[in-house]
Amino acid sequence: MSMLIRTVRDWPVTSFVVLAFVITWIGFIPFYRAGGEDIAWFTFGPFVSAVVISALLGGWPKVRALLASVVKWRVPPGWYLVAIGLPVAAQLLAIWLNPLLGSAAPNWGNVPAIPEIAVMVPLFLVFSGPLGEEPGWRGFALPALLREHGALNASLLLGVIWAAWHLPLVLLNDYSISSAINVMVAAVVFTWLYQNSAGSVLPAILMHASHQNSVRYLGRVFEGGDATQHQWIGLMLWLAIALAIVAIYGTHSFRNGGATAAVS
C-alpha cells in the first residue's frame, strides 16, 4: 500500500489517467453490448478516478476540496454566459456558414421541440459526460498540469488525453477524426474558462453540456455529407476561438495579468 501511495504521489496525473481509462473502458463494455442504448455509466470514470487519487494523495481534505470545486457557484456571472452561450453561438454560426459553402439549407424540422430538449438536457448533463468527466479533467488533472506547465502546454497535453479517452466510441461509429481534433482544440477553451472562473469546475460542466447538446440537437439540421461538412466548420470555429484566446492572453495562463489561478 505504501508503494502504491508513493507511486501516486510521484506520478499523480499519470495515476489518475491510467485509473480513469481502466474504469471507463471496462465500464464501456456493457454500454457497447447494449449498442449504445443504455445509461453511459462509463463516463464517470474520470470523476471516480479523481476521487480515488485525491484520497490517496491527501485523504478526505483533498477529496472535499475536489468536490467543493464542482459545486462552487460564486463565479463572475459573465463566465456563466460564456460557458452556456459560446458553444451554442458557434453551432449556430456553423449552421449559417454551411449553406454558404455549398450544403443544402438547414432542415429545422429535424430539431426536437423545445420542451423535449428541456427535459433531456439535464439528464444528458448528468449521465452523458459533463458531470462524470469534468471533475476529473478540469477538477483534478488540469490544476495538476498547470503546476508544471503553461496554460497552452497543459491544455494540449490534457486535450490529447481527453481525445484518447473517447476512443471506445469508435466501436459505435460515434467518434470521428473531426471529433477527436475538436476535443483537443476545446481543451484550450476549457482551460481559459477554468482559469477565469475562480477555480470552479461548474462552468466547465455547463460548457461541456452546452457544447454536447448543441451538437446533438442543432446538428440534426444537416444530413449525410452536409452534416460532415458542418462538423468540420464547427471545428474550424472552435480552432479560431482557441487561437484568439492564445493571441489575446498569451500562452502562460490564459488570464488577464498573467497570473495562474490558484489550485489545490
CA distance 81 to 119: 21
Residue 100 has pLDDT above 90, yes or no: yes
pLDDT for 3 equals 82
Q: Shortest CA distance to 121 belongs to which of 87, 98, 77?
A: 87
Count: domains in the chain: 1
User: Can you read off the three cell numbers belonging to residue 2?
Assistant: 505504501
Contact 183, 159 (CB under 8 A): yes
Structural domain contains residue 258: no
Residue 264 has pLDDT above 80, yes or no: no
Structural domain contains residue 1: no
The pLDDT tens digits for 121-178 are 999 999 999 999 999 999 999 999 999 999 999 999 999 999 999 999 999 999 999 9
Please report, as a single letter, which amino acid is at residue 150: G
Structural domain contains residue 228: yes
Structural domain contains residue 45: no
Residue 84 has pLDDT above 50, yes or no: yes
Structural domain contains residue 149: yes
Structural domain contains residue 224: yes
Structural domain contains residue 90: yes
Residues 6+ apart with CB under 8 A from 168: 24, 25, 28, 32, 42
Percentage of the chain modeled with pLDDT above 90? 92
Structural domain contains residue 26: no
Instruction: Name the residue range of residue 214's domain.
Output: 73-249
